[in-house]
Structure 1
Amino acid sequence: MKKIITAMVGVGLLFSLGTGSAFAATKMSNTIDDLMGISYKYGGTTTNGFDCSGFVGYVFDKYKIDLPRTSSSMYQEGSKVAKDDLRPGDLVFFNTSGNGISHVGIYVGNGEFAHASTSKGTRIDKLSMNYYAERYVGAKRILSDTQYKSIAAE
């Protein structure tokens, strides 16, 4: 019985140590958190109001990473990444207009992405939400491994 209890405590410690690091703050997550709740503004690229690509561009600009201005142009950058291989900092793209790439967000981990919603401003939503799951087009990896480790790795 003593061995079983010791083993259970050990497993509990192992899981608690793992979960602590899974939710560790990163430079990028701190930047994103600071921008939550800002109103949507068509063409917006500042904290006075963001559109989706303005929000993404603003976050990446904080780390001296230049991106094109529009979501469709951003989709031309980086390398394709499978949904199952997403890591924080990857860009996720959607067809919300019916005319190709029209929305972009930043994957933040745990199946979630940060973006500027036209109705709710900057926020974090789940990729699995019906609205986004039905409109998901793909993802691109913009950050090099070095950049990822420096600003987005958990």
Structure 2
Amino acid sequence: MTNTTNKRVGKKMIGVVLSLSVAFAGSMLLTPKTTHAATDAQVASKIIAKGKQYMGTPYRFGAKAGITSAFDCSSFVQYIYKKYGVNLPRGSKDQAKRGVKVLKKNLKKGDLIFSDTNRDGKINHVSIYIGNGKVLQTYRVGIGVTISNFKGSIWDRTFVTARDVI
């Protein structure tokens, strides 16, 4: 009888220990939103700083992915974000399908802004929101990678969507 009682107590103890282990392990997977947000903000700052290193780099439509001697808007975004572990497709239209939709009024640093600058119903431009109503982008021969005002600009007037991809 004591042997049977000992076995039952042992099984209950194992059950309690396993339950606590599962609960503890599960709580380790949950990270507070503030920690995640701080990490996102840090990554966004690094992406923006990296992008600024290419200020003045020439614009070339259809620039090859991965090169830094010239960019078009989407190759620039793809290259910079990839440096920080965010893999994006090559074209702006496909990039606009990634991440989480962001309302224009809720833009934060590091969000991607997608526009239809030739007003044909198709996304054809992407820029990086850097805060204070400004974007980091490349868009025309003779200008290259630059910082531009967003509010009231062609990119604002032809805004289609914004995405948080970080």
TM-score bracket, normalised by the shorter chain, equals 0.7 to 0.9
Of all paired residues, the percent bearing the same amino acid is: 35
Given candidates 26, 38, 61, the residue that maps to 2:57 is: 38
Q: Which moved more, 1:110-119 or 1:71-80?
A: 110-119
Q: 2:140 matched to 1:124?
A: no
Q: Which runs of 4+ in 1 moved over 3 A?
A: none
The alpha carbon displacement at 1:92 in A equals: 0.2
Normalised by the length of structure 1, the TM-score is 0.72
Are residues 106 and 130 of structure 1, via their aligned partners in 2, closer, same or farther at CA, if it must alter by over 3 Å?
A: closer
Question: In the alignment, what sits opposite 1:53?
Answer: 74
What does the per-residue CA deviation read over 1:19-54, in whole Å, with 9 as the maximum and x for residues that have no partner? xxxxxx932222011011100011213221000000
In terms of fraction of residues, the more strand-rich structure is 1
- Provide the secondary structure at the position in 2 that maps to 1:49: coil
Q: Which runs of 5+ in 2 are unaligned?
A: 1-43
What does the per-residue CA deviation read over 1:64-104, in whole Å, with 9 as the maximum and x for residues that have no partner? 21101100000111111011211111100100122210000
Given candidates 95, 105, 129, the residue that maps to 1:107 is: 129
Ranked by relative contact order (alpha carbons within 8 Å, sequence separation 6 or more), the top structure is 1
The alpha carbon displacement at 1:135 in A equals: 1.2
The structure having more radius of gyration, on CA atoms, is 2
Q: Which runs of 5+ in 1 are unaligned?
A: 1-24, 144-154
Give the CA RMSD over aligned residues: 1.5
Normalised by the length of structure 2, the TM-score is 0.67
The alpha carbon displacement at 1:133 in A equals: 2.1
Contact preservation (8 Å) 2:110, 2:164: yes
